[in-house]
């Protein structure tokens, strides 16, 4: 089974009841967080950066009903308690990020490049995201929008 990373936007939609994608994202997250292989392993992982981005977004005053920091960190803790694999930077991270930055033309994709570099560091070749276009051009990476299926 191929392991896919979960992008920030799916977590935000799943936990932001005001999002028009809330119900479908919530169902998707619940499904993938409950699917395990014969060894009991999840088929998904989450880059550590995604949790930081998640907390930043769901606590923003730009939302109609932002979460408090303690509510957001409790959600992250719930994910950690599942035993999901958390991806972190390796020694090759900066080299990977520089290589991937050479493939983009816009500064606004910098955080997506950072996630892609962590995925490359950890030999993860798939990401579930609502914004597949953000990861186009990274030839090692398959981006899938589970909300459009």
pTM: 0.94
| pLDDT digits 0-9 by tens, 90-99 | 999 999 999 9
| pLDDT digits 0-9 by tens, 98-118 | 999 888 877 668 899 999 999
Report the domain count for the chain. 1
Mean pLDDT in order along the chain per 10 residues (149 residues): 93 97 98 92 96 98 96 98 96 92 78 95 97 92 94
Distances (CA, A) of 115 to 38, 64, 66, 73, 133: 28, 27, 24, 20, 14
How many angstroms separate the first and last alpha carbons of the chain? 19
- Which of 22, 18, 43 lies closest to 130 in space, CA to CA? 22
CATH number, residue 109: 3.40.50.1010
Question: What whole-number distance in Å separates Cα of residue 7 and Cα of residue 131?
Answer: 9
Q: At what angle do helices 69-81 and 48-58 cross, to 10 degrees?
A: 150
């Amino acid at each position: 089974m191929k392991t896919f990373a979960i992008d920030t936007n799916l977590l935000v939609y799943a936990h932001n009841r005001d999002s028009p994608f809330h119900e479908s994202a919530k169902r998707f997250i619940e499904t993938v967080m409950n699917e395990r292989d014969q060894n009991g392993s999840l088929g998904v992982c989450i880059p550590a950066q995604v949790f930081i981005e998640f907390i930043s977004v769901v606590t923003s005053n730009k939302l109609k009903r932002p979460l408090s920091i303690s509510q957001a960190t409790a959600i992250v803790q719930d994910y950690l308690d599942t035993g999901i694999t958390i991806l972190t930077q390796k020694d090759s991270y900066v080299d990977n990020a520089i290589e991937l930055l050479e493939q983009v033309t816009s500064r606004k994709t910098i955080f997506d490049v950072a996630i892609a570099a962590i995925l490359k560091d950890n030999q993860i070749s798939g990401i579930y995201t609502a914004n597949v276009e953000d990861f186009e051009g990274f030839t090692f990476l398959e981006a899938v929008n589970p909300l459009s299926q």
